[in-house]
Amino acid sequence: MVRLFPWATTDEFRRDFVSSKIADDDLEIARKNISKSVLFASQNTLARDGHEIQSANANTFHNNIVNSHSITNPLLNPLAWGTLIKQITDGDKAK
């Protein structure tokens, strides 16, 4: 019986065995697929579906409404309340 090996010596076998790259298992492949860099890259390349576009538009519309009313309402401004209370306590009736 003759066995053929691609290595001439056991030292060559050890060197090739130690330097060989082992294929990733399923868990490692899954970790690579959900890394932040892969997700960020796919976010810019994948097309959006209708539900995602509608949800983004609704969120933007809601945020615009909330922000437009909260900035201009002086009753919600704590600095304005502080100024008013200071004016009342100081007795400044000119304003």
Tell me, letter by letter, the H, E, C secondary structure of 35-58. CHHHHHHHHHHCCCCHHHHHHHHH
pTM of the model: 0.33
What pLDDT, in 10s, does the model give residues 56-81?
999 999 998 888 766 566 777 788 88
Confidence (pLDDT) at 17: 85
- Residue 72 half-sphere exposure, CB side, CA atoms within 13 Å? 6
pLDDT reading at 10 higher than 90: no
Mean pLDDT of 4-13: 84
- Residue 47 sits at φ, ψ, to 5 deg, of -75, 150
pLDDT at 94: 61
